[in-house]
Structure 1
Amino acid sequence: MNLNLNEDDVLKLLNDININENEFSSDDLNEFEKKKICKDIINKVKPRKSKSKRNFIAAAIILLITIPILISQRNVLANMIEKLTVISGIGEVKVSSDKPKILKSSIKQGNITLANMYIDNNKIIVTLTIEPEELKRSYYTITDNYGNSYELHRSNNLAMMPDNHIGSYRAEYNGNVKKANSYTLSIIANDKKFTKATFKIKSSDFKEAAESKVLYTATNGITTLNVTSLKRDGNILKVDYYFTDTLPDFKSKIIDKVNRGTFEESKKLGLNEPINTKLINNNSIQDSNIIISDEYNNAVYGHNNINYLDQGNESLFDLSKLTGKKLKLTVSNVVYHTDSINFNSINNDLNNFNDETSDFNLELDIPKSGKSILNKIVNYKGFKFKIISINRLSNDSIELIYNYINDSNSRLQTSNILFESVTDGDGQSNISQSNGNIKVFYQIKNGIGDKLKLNHLQYTFSSIGPFEIDLNPSLIK
């Protein structure tokens, strides 16, 4: 059979079957194991499909698992069948289950509100608000009716400007989740001396999480803005969206929020609306914002909900400030903050650090005295920077001067870079005022030897827009 399939074709075909990720978790498969997988997949194709369609699907999967470069990657098929979706009150989620569940409505207990809870066979996510916000991080544990227990790791405070003193939090468990009929979420104080709240959730409290459908896309060839929902409540338009890209894998990757706080915070900051598109500064690659404009160049910024939940995938717009009917959604740039270390994977404990923890390792010769001019060009995942010089200041301190190299024709533009030696010493970044170079001072813990090992890299860059979408009024519900 002659197959001309791209990745999207294969993903569509995969929708017709239900594959458990544990079936393809081996790093190396022999020919017997490959044939067994092919047979199992053919048996999984839904009976309602015609024989020719079933064979075509099976052939597509056989083609995939016989490609050496793919089969060598752990859980490759399991990862491919994950679907990205946006869930209100939670945000962006990779769905790895046929019927993931979310809460029908929020649940409040005292000063804590469980805004939403998501469960599939590989993860649990909860989002909640606490008034007043937590000064010290609590512990979050979920136990089901069979006694299985899951410890959730909380992300940073979701609130960017918590002037209302509401703490908004997201906590996750990633791993095997067993089916159950009920769950108990316990929020335990930082000192573990008392339980702040206990939420008991029954099966009847859940509903099936609807899959988000992409209504619009806008791309620069690297990053894509995907709009999944447009909902209007009076003059307020709520837009749900997420970003995808073709960038290399980073240990850690965060995208800047594009909203301008809540409506109330904008008033306090003196951000008057309506604004004119001609007055918006889109020249800075370090800034990212989202606006809706009309044919008369009136424009309004996107804003957060007052509880700050889902602020990375939801924007609220006040359409009463616009006079036209032709609406355009625009995101100026998408700003990425990447890290060569995923600190969650080592539980934020550098004692767990080893040579494989970071995907960046650079060793530099340190002069016995004075400054050494290096002008060394380094390439990290396609981004280039220059190590200009290294200067021995004392027996335990050195100074490193470097800068980044931007291709003016590239859609990716670097705006900041910071090196550290997490095993040898600590550095602080100071941008030189004279020529724009970045200067870092290092205090070495055990004294300076002949080598400086840089094993931590934080990189900030922008995917240059604008990303523009003409909104169809008929799709606004």
Structure 2
Amino acid sequence: MNLNLNEDDVLKLLNDVNINENEFSSNDLNEIEKKKICKDIISKINPKKSKSKRNFIAAAVIFLIIIPILISQKNVLANMIEKLTVISGIGEVKVSSDKPKILKNSIQQDNITLANMYVDKSKIIVTLTIEPEELKRSYYTIKDNHGNFYKLRRSNNLAMMPDNRIGSYRAEYNGKVKKANSYTLSIVDNDKKFTKATFKLKSSDFKEAAKLKILYTATNGITTLNVTSLKRERNILKVDYYFTDTLPDFKSKMIDKVNRGTFEESKKLGLEEPISAKLINNNSIQDSHIIISDEYNNAVYGHNNINYLDQGNESLFDLSKFTGKKLKLTVSNVVYHTDSINFNAINNDLNNYNNETSDFNLELDVPKSGKSILNKIVNYKGFKFKIISINRLSNNSIELIYNYINDSNSRLQTLNILFESVTDGDGESNISQNNGNIKVFYQLKNEIGDKLKLNHIQYTFSSVGPFEIDLNPSTIK
């Protein structure tokens, strides 16, 4: 059989197959193991499918297993098992179970509200709000009815401008989660002297997480905006969405929030809605905002929910300004902040740093004295920048001058770069820009020798839009 299949084709065909992740526990499969996997998976194909469809799926499985590069480099099978979804009150989640559970309704206990809780076989996620916000991090633990104990790691405050002193938090556990019928979530203060709240949750408090449905997409060929839900309550339209992309893997990646705070915060800060869609500057690649406009160019910005949850996956729009019936949703640009080190993975402790912690390593010759002109072109994951010069100011201080190189025709435009040498001790850096060049002064605690090893880079760039979607009123519930 002559097949011309790519990865997406294979994944679509394998939607008909229920696959257990344990069948692919090793990347180093011998021929006997590959044949056994093929046989096991093919036996799972729905017998109601036509013979030709079954044969085609079988061929896709064989294609997937036989090609070593797909298994070893793309980890296609793992990606196939774990799929992305967006859950209200939680945001983006990689689902690794057939029937993940979420709370039916939020639960309040005194000044703490448990907005949602997600459970599958490899993770537990809770999101909650606390008033007033925590000055010190509490401890979040879950115990199930079988006595299994899970310690959750809390994120930073999810709020961008929490001037109302409400803290919004996400805490999660990643690892094996055993099946259970009930859970007890305990929130203990930082000094472990008293319990702030205890939520006792039983099976009837949960429901199966709905499968993700994509209503609309807009792409520039690299980044894709996916809209998953449109819900209207009086004059407020709530839009749920998330972004996907074909960018290289970064140790850490964060996307700028596109909302303008809550409605109340915008009023306090004097951030009024635009008079017309034509007056919004869509040419700046540093701007990242989301708007809805009509055919008469009336426009409004997206805003956060008052509890700050889902601010990266949810926007609220006031529709009372519109006089037209044709609505268009637009995201101007998507701004990425990437890091060559995932500090969460090393628990924010540089003592856990090793040579593989960062995916960026650059070694520069340092002059014995004075300035050295380098004009060194560096390529980092497809982005280019130039190290112009390095200047030794003292035994433990240097000055770097560099700039980034943008291709004006590219949909990716660099906005800023910051280098560090995290293994040379704690240092300080002052950044200034002049004539398009970036000047960085480093004062390190360790003495600088003949070489400077830069092993940390923070890279900010924009995926240039606009991303535009014409909204069909019939899809608004």
The one-letter code of the counterpart of 1:33 is: E
2:465 is aligned with 1:462: no
Please list the CA deviations of residues 342-393 of structure 1 after superposition, one character each: whole Å capped at 9, or x if unmatched: 1111111100000100000001111001111101000000000111111111
Stretch of structure 1 that moved more, 401-410 or 16-25: 16-25
- Identity in percent: 89
Q: CA deviation at 1:92?
A: 1.0
Q: Is the 1:14–1:81 contact (alpha carbons within 8 Å) kept by the matching residues of 2? A: no
Q: Is the 1:290–1:302 contact (alpha carbons within 8 Å) kept by the matching residues of 2? A: yes
Stretch of structure 1 that moved more, 433-442 or 122-131: 433-442
Give 1:32's aligned residue. 32
Query: How far apart are the structure 2 equivalents of 1:319 and 1:400?
Result: 50
Give 1:443's aligned residue. 443
Q: CA deviation at 1:198?
A: 1.2
Q: CA deviation at 1:202?
A: 0.7
The one-letter code of the counterpart of 2:181 is: N
1:270-285 equivalence runs, <5 A: 270-273=270-273, 275-285=275-285
Give 2:410's aligned residue. 410
The one-letter code of the counterpart of 1:152 is: L
Runs of 5+ unmatched residues, structure 1: none
Stretch of structure 1 that moved more, 79-88 or 129-138: 79-88
Q: CA deviation at 1:426?
A: 4.2
Q: Is the 1:332–1:465 contact (alpha carbons within 8 Å) kept by the matching residues of 2? A: yes
Q: Give 3-state SS (helix, strand or coil) of 1:282's partner.
A: coil
Give 2:383's aligned residue. 383
1:43-54 equivalence runs, <5 A: 43-54=43-54
Return the TM-score normalized by structure 2: 0.97
Give 2:361's aligned residue. 361
1:124-135 equivalence runs, <5 A: 124-135=124-135
Stretch of structure 1 that moved more, 268-277 or 148-157: 268-277
Give 2:317's aligned residue. 317
Please list the CA deviations of residues 138-172 of structure 1 after superposition, one character each: whole Å capped at 9, or x if unmatched: 12111111111222111211100111111001111
Q: Is the 1:26–1:75 contact (alpha carbons within 8 Å) kept by the matching residues of 2? A: no
Query: How far apart are the structure 2 equivalents of 1:427 and 1:61?
Result: 53
Q: Give 3-state SS (helix, strand or coil) of 2:227's partner.
A: strand
Q: Give 3-state SS (helix, strand or coil) of 1:161's partner.
A: coil
Q: Give 3-state SS (helix, strand or coil) of 1:346's partner.
A: coil
Q: Give 3-state SS (helix, strand or coil) of 1:432's partner.
A: strand
Give 1:397's aligned residue. 397
Q: Give 3-state SS (helix, strand or coil) of 1:32's partner.
A: helix
Give 1:15's aligned residue. 15
Stretch of structure 1 that moved more, 69-78 or 195-204: 69-78
Q: Is the 2:428–2:444 contact (alpha carbons within 8 Å) kept by the matching residues of 1? A: no
Please list the CA deviations of residues 108-134 of structure 1 after superposition, one character each: whole Å capped at 9, or x if unmatched: 111111100011112111100000001
The one-letter code of the counterpart of 1:468 is: E
Give 1:202's aligned residue. 202
Q: Give 3-state SS (helix, strand or coil) of 1:333's partner.
A: strand
The one-letter code of the counterpart of 1:438 is: I
Stretch of structure 1 that moved more, 188-197 or 119-128: 188-197
Query: How far apart are the structure 2 equivalents of 1:434 and 1:460?
Result: 18
Q: Is the 1:303–1:317 contact (alpha carbons within 8 Å) kept by the matching residues of 2? A: yes
Q: Is the 1:11–1:81 contact (alpha carbons within 8 Å) kept by the matching residues of 2? A: no
Q: Give 3-state SS (helix, strand or coil) of 2:141's partner.
A: strand
Give 2:287's aligned residue. 287
Q: Is the 2:336–2:461 contact (alpha carbons within 8 Å) kept by the matching residues of 1? A: yes
Give 1:334's aligned residue. 334
Q: CA deviation at 1:75?
A: 5.5
Q: Give 3-state SS (helix, strand or coil) of 2:16's partner.
A: coil
Query: How far apart are the structure 2 equivalents of 1:146 and 1:75?
Result: 34
Q: Give 3-state SS (helix, strand or coil) of 1:218's partner.
A: strand
Return the TM-score normalized by structure 1: 0.97
The one-letter code of the counterpart of 2:112 is: I
Q: Which runs of 4+ in 1 moved over 6 A?
A: none
Q: Is the 2:433–2:439 contact (alpha carbons within 8 Å) kept by the matching residues of 1? A: no
Q: CA deviation at 1:283?
A: 2.4
Q: CA deviation at 1:239?
A: 0.4
2:6 is aligned with 1:6: yes
Q: Is the 2:431–2:441 contact (alpha carbons within 8 Å) kept by the matching residues of 1? A: no
Q: CA deviation at 1:193?
A: 2.2
Figure out how many residues of one structure are paired with residues of the other and give that number: 477
Q: Give 3-state SS (helix, strand or coil) of 1:127's partner.
A: strand
Q: Give 3-state SS (helix, strand or coil) of 2:43's partner.
A: helix
2:172 is aligned with 1:172: yes
Q: CA deviation at 1:12?
A: 1.9
Query: How far apart are the structure 1 equivalents of 2:274 and 2:367?
Result: 58
Q: CA deviation at 1:429?
A: 4.7
Query: How far apart are the structure 2 equivalents of 1:154 and 1:171?
Result: 4
Q: Is the 2:220–2:467 contact (alpha carbons within 8 Å) kept by the matching residues of 1? A: yes
Q: Give 3-state SS (helix, strand or coil) of 1:78's partner.
A: helix
1:90-109 equivalence runs, <5 A: 90-109=90-109
Q: Is the 2:253–2:338 contact (alpha carbons within 8 Å) kept by the matching residues of 1? A: yes
Query: How far apart are the structure 2 equivalents of 1:394 and 1:78?
Result: 50
